[in-house]
Amino acid sequence: MNRRAWAFGVAAAAFALNAVAERVLMKLPGDFTIIPGLADFRHAWNRGVSFSLFTQSDASGRLLLMGFLAVIIVIVAVMTWRAATTLSAIGFGLILGGALGNLADRWAYGAVFDFLSLHLGSLFLFVCNGADIAISAGVVLLMLDGFVSKSKSV
Burial class (CB in 10 A: 0-12, 13-18, 19+), 137: middle
Q: Which structural domain range is residue 146 located in?
A: 3-153
Number of domains in the chain: 1
What are the distances in angstroms from CA 57 to CA 62, 64, 94? 7, 12, 29
Catalytic residues: 114, 132
Buried-state track 8-25, b at ≥16 Cβ within 10 A, e below 16:
bebbeebbebbbebbeee
How do the pLDDT tens digits run along the chain, 154 residues long?
Answer: 688 899 999 999 999 999 999 999 999 988 999 999 999 999 988 876 554 444 556 667 767 778 888 999 999 999 999 999 999 999 999 999 999 999 999 889 988 999 999 999 999 998 899 999 999 999 999 999 998 876 666 5
